[in-house]
Amino acid sequence: MLIAIMADDASPTTEFERFAAAYRNDEVMVRRAEVTPDVRQDGEPVSRVMLLLSDPVDETWNVDRIRELRMTLGRKAVELGLPAVSLTLVAESDPEAVEAFVR
């Protein structure tokens, strides 16, 4: 029997997406967030999180600010009972990468 689990407005995934999309620190602002449940090669579940971010000042974002973002989202995922977070960061001015959001 196939059981489909649909994300609704109250699901942890949806709550996590809202939380992530509202995140900002003094260098990074999240414009959009998408969470996709996945499984690692070793069978462990993982939350693939794609974030559309404000453009970096230089070629990439500050390593400490991104670590703050990663830790904050990691703790929120634990709080919501979601699997470990794996981030993919997309700069808002990168049209090719932004396509990843609409695939």
Partner 1 sequence: MPSYPIEPDKLLDAANLLARPVKGRGRLAYTAHRRAVSTAYYAVFHAVSGRVVETVFPSADEAFRRRVRRWIGHGDIRSISGYVSQLQGTMGGQAPTHIVALLAPPGGPLHIDGDTATIADGFLELNDKREQADYDHDAVFPRPDTLAHIELARRVVAVVDAAQSDEATRFFGLIGMQSRIQKR
Near partner 1 in 6-35, by CB under 8 A: none
Q: Does 91 bind partner 1 (CB under 8 A)?
A: yes
The amino acid that residue 35 corresponds to is V
The DSSP string of 15-73 is: HHHHHHHT-B-SS-BEEEEEEEEEE-TTS-EEEEEEEEEPPPSSSS--HHHHHHHHHHH
CB 51, min distance to partner 1, A: 9
Site of interaction with partner 1 (CB under 8 A): 40-42, 46, 50, 56, 59-61, 63, 66-67, 70-71, 74-75, 77-78, 81-84, 86-91, 94, 96-97, 100
